[in-house]
């Protein structure tokens, strides 16, 4: 059977055969046969915007791999910094490469004093930390003028290292500001995740020592959130990057997309939902409200996973490890009951709605003491390595500027009517 499709224009009888390559068909042939007829695809649900070698995702089978490595193995055996290297460079580092990479990242964790003192301190006292983070990432582009040298390999590498390294510092700074605590400088004796927890929680002790189980849990959560192929924020990164904006401006756009409750804000929405439900007895009426379309079950459903999100499975295990240290989050019982009811309910079964990565991550973050508003920030810290891997890939592909078409459904041409002649 030929690996191709044939399209016939019934207006002219002309046909064109297009080969299917790597599961995709090129739009160039479509455009040749049908000039001026656009493929109408709201939400790009059937459009592959790019070829990519970073992450493989099979939503029907519930498979996620970074550069070919199953997420389960990475979560079990790797560290976030190693995964960031893998995403960006395509291969796992050897020991020498890893040591150099880790040292580079560690030596770029500090932020310019003006970013904190003048920029972050200028926010209103109750600013949302994710709003602060989005703005701070964009502001970094004004501090590193070589950021514009996107085709200079050394300059590109430098911005990548800076962004990955400074994300935890900016994230913790946003939190400390929002609770009125003094900023904590990075402690570069500590590994990445432990350093972040030190900047978050240190009070007066000379060295903050986080519980190793919690450090590992954060590192695993960072691994799970590091990339997820062409999601909304990565598409924002690629779209802005395709205009050859600097990586900070592109990453700020990506972070802004992640701020939305349909994307990175969903774990925040899950905890708010569980708090609103309040007790096991309210689960059934809540499910009925979801089914009647009054609300959505937050942390359920996914554009591409029509099966259990493999990250949700790993997170459930991380939750057990964290709760052993912190005590059980009282919302867990409600979450487990919701999951159980939904997984046996025809509404959710027929729509193939399963828990996604956000269903349990919020409970873990809350048990560890993170305020709800920090949840999307925690997502953004590791996702920056995925954004940068896609951005770098895009530049190497020398891709076109993103400029989709539209199907116009507005008025045809009409004549301007002066104000005094318009109907009142």
Q: What's the rounded Cα separation, in Å, for the pair 185 and 172?
A: 10
Q: Could you tell me which stretch among 80-88, 162-170, 185-193, 294-302 binds ligand ACO (CB under 6 A)? A: 294-302
Question: Which one, 358 or 393, has the nearer CB to ligand ACO?
Answer: 358
Q: What's the rounded Cα separation, in Å, for the pair 367 and 369?
A: 5
**Mask of contacts with ligand ACO, 297-316, x by CB under 6 A?**
xxxxxxx-------------
Q: Which of 112, 148, 216, 263 binds ligand ACO (CB under 6 A)?
A: 263
| Count of C-beta atoms within a 10 Å radius of residue 237 | 30
| Count of C-beta atoms within a 10 Å radius of residue 133 | 27
Residue of 175, 225, 228, 302 marked active site: 302
Q: Rounded to the nearest whole angstrom, what is the least distance from the CB of residue 75 to ligand ACO in the complex?
A: 16
Question: Which one, 250 or 361, has the nearer CB to ligand ACO?
Answer: 361
Catalytic site includes residue 302:
yes
Q: Which of 65, 89, 272, 296 binds ligand ACO (CB under 6 A)?
A: 296
Catalytic site includes residue 112:
no
**Residue 190: partners with Cβ closer than 8 Å, 6 or more residues away:** 198
Q: Rounded to the nearest whole angstrom, what is the least distance from the CB of residue 296 to ligand ACO in the complex?
A: 4
Task: For the chain, report the end-to-end CA distance as a whole number of angstroms.
Answer: 65
- Sequence length of the chain is 424
Beta-ladder partners of 65: 56, 70
**Mask of contacts with ligand ACO, 266-285, x by CB under 6 A?**
x-------------------
Question: Which one, 191 or 260, has the nearer CB to ligand ACO?
Answer: 260
The helix (run of H) or strand (run of E) holding residue 265 is: none
Question: Which one, 175 or 383, has the nearer CB to ligand ACO?
Answer: 383
Q: Rounded to the nearest whole angstrom, what is the least distance from the CB of residue 351 to ligand ACO in the complex?
A: 4
Closest of 378, 379, 384 to residue 200, by C-alpha: 378
Q: Rounded to the nearest whole angstrom, what is the least distance from the CB of residue 270 to ligand ACO in the complex?
A: 7
Q: Could you tell me which stretch among 212-220, 329-337, 354-362, 394-402 binds ligand ACO (CB under 6 A)? A: 354-362
| C-beta separation of 163 from 140 below 8 A | yes
Beta-ladder partners of 16: 7
Question: Which one, 301 or 386, has the nearer CB to ligand ACO?
Answer: 301
Total residues binding ligand ACO (CB under 6 A): 17
Q: What's the rounded Cα separation, in Å, for the pair 137 and 39?
A: 35
* Token pair in block for residue 138: 């964009």
| C-beta separation of 388 from 88 below 8 A | yes
Q: Rounded to the nearest whole angstrom, what is the least distance from the CB of residue 131 to ligand ACO in the complex?
A: 18
DSSP alpha helix (H) spans, 185-293? 192-201, 212-225, 232-241, 247-258, 266-277, 283-291
Which residues are catalytically annotated? 263, 302, 358
Summarize as ranges the residues that interact with ligand ACO (CB under 6 A). Answer: 262-263, 266, 290, 296-303, 351, 353, 356-358
């Amino acid at each position: 059977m030929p690996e191709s499709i044939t399209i016939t224009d019934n207006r002219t009888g002309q046909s064109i055969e297009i080969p299917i390559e790597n599961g995709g068909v090129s739009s160039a042939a479509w455009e040749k046969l049908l000039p001026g007829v656009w493929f109408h695809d709201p939400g790009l649900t059937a459009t592959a915007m790019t070829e990519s070698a970073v992450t493989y995702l099979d939503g029907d089978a519930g498979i996620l791999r970074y550069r070919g490595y199953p997420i389960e193995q990475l979560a079990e055996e790797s560290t976030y910094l190693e995964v960031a290297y893998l995403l960006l460079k395509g291969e796992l580092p050897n020991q020498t490469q890893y040591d150099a990479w880790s040292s580079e990242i560690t030596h770029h964790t500090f932020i310019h004093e003006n970013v904190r003192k003048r920029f972050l301190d200028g926010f209103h006292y109750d600013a949302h930390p994710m709003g602060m983070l989005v703005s701070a990432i964009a502001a970094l582009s004004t501090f590193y003028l070589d950021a514009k040298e996107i085709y200079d390999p050394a300059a590109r590498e430098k911005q990548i290292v800076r962004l990955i390294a400074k994300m935890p510092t900016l994230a913790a700074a946003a939190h400390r500001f929002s609770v009125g605590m003094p900023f904590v400088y990075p402690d570069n004796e500590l590994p990445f995740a432990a350093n972040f927890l030190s900047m978050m929680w240190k009070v007066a002790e000379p060295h903050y020592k986080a519980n190793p189980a919690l450090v590992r849990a954060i590192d695993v959560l960072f691994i799970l959130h590091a990339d997820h192929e062409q999601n909304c924020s990565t598409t924002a990164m690629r779209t802005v990057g395709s205009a050859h904006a600097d990586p900070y401006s592109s990453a700020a756009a990506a972070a802004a997309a992640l701020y939305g409750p349909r994307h990175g804000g969903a774990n925040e929405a899950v905890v708010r939902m569980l708090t609103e439900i309040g007790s096991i007895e309210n689960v059934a009426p809540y499910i009925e409200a979801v089914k009647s379309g009054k609300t959505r079950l937050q942390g359920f459903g996914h554009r591409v996973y029509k099966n259990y999100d493999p990250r949700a499975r790993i997170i459930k295990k991380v939750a057990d490890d964290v709760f052993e240290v912190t005590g059980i989050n009282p919302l867990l019982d409600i979450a487990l009951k919701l999951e159980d009811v939904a997984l046996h309910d025809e509404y959710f079964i027929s729509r193939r709605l399963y828990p996604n990565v956000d269903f349990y991550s919020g409970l873990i973050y809350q048990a560890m003491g993170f305020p709800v508003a920090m949840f999307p920030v925690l997502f953004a810290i590791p996702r920056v390595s995925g954004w940068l891997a896609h951005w770098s890939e895009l530049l190497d592909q020398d891709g076109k500027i993103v400029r989709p078409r539209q199907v116009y459904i507005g008025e045809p041409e009409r004549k301007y009517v002066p104000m005094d002649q318009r109907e009142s």
